[in-house]
Structure 1
Amino acid sequence: MPSKPAAESRTRAPAPQLRFRMRVTQGEVIAVGPGKIALLEAVDKTGSITAAAKSLDMSYRRAWLLLDELNRSLRVAAVDSAKGGAAGGGSVLTREGRELIALYRRIEATAAAACRSDIRKLMGMLA
């Protein structure tokens, strides 16, 4: 087996992390996925699409398009936005938006719990 170069052996690779990346698609559209859930969480935290986008290093336009796509995919919108102006705008999650986040995160946690021993084995195989 070839030896590693000296510089490579001194630097340690980051610890492996397992992440579930669940997506719900409708045709070619990702109706619900990890990025949209993270964006919903950021809107909930900041009260603004602009601030949420900045916190995720995303353009306002990209955030707006993702939320518009999400809202169009759902029976009831996840985000309710007010127009800007002198008093400023803002965005809030609807009850359905909060429920969507909770369901998504619960499904992730349930999947991780169900696969715990296999995940442990898989992680043990990594260097």
Structure 2
Amino acid sequence: MDRDGPRIKLRLEYDTPLVLGPGKAQLLRLIGQHGSISAAGRAMGMSYKRAWSLVEEMNGAFATPLVDSSRGGPGGGGATVTATGQAVLRHYESLERLLRDTGAADLGAIGALMKRGEP
């Protein structure tokens, strides 16, 4: 356990092939910040192809796309996180907070049972 306590990494698995976890949530956040799938991927240390593949996976799993993109060209392309994508990210972050806040006692109890390293 680090000095700031345990980290929660929420991973949601649905019947569709979608797994929604911290990486895809971060990709959505960064697309929203940068307005670009390639810039978001670079910020995460992944290729554009990998970032685009993750976006396609997320878009294909929901009734409406999470990310809307336009092709590059002379004016450049871009990407935006749709209202559905913003809602998914908001709910995901809410679940993370719920686990962290409501589960604090349980997280502490598990941590208390762990081996302690030598100083």
TM-score of the two chains, using structure 2 as the length reference: 0.86
**What is the number of equivalent residue pairs in this alignment?**
114
C-alpha contact 1:31 1:73 (8 A) present in aligned 2: no
Larger radius of gyration: 1
Query: Which residue does 1:45 correspond to in 2?
Result: 33
Query: Which residue does 1:84 correspond to in 2?
Result: 72
Segment of structure 1 superposing worse, 106-115 or 51-60: 106-115
Give the share of equivalent positions with the same residue, in percent: 29
Query: Which residue does 1:123 correspond to in 2?
Result: 111
* RCO higher in structure (CA 8 A, sep ≥6): 2
C-alpha contact 1:77 1:96 (8 A) present in aligned 2: yes
Quote the offset at 1:77 in angstroms. 0.4
* 2:24 paired with 1:20: no
Compute the RMSD of aligned alpha carbons: 1.7
Name stretches of at least 5 consecutive residues in structure 2 with no aligned partner: none
C-alpha contact 2:28 2:89 (8 A) present in aligned 1: yes
Partner Cα distance (2:103, 2:91) in 1: 18
Partner Cα distance (1:89, 1:96) in 2: 21
Name stretches of at least 5 consecutive residues in structure 1 with no aligned partner: 1-12
Segment of structure 1 superposing worse, 29-38 or 40-49: 29-38
Quote the offset at 1:79 in angstroms. 0.3
Partner Cα distance (1:33, 1:53) in 2: 16
Residue aligned with 2:68, SS = strand
TM-score of the two chains, using structure 1 as the length reference: 0.81
* 2:94 paired with 1:106: yes
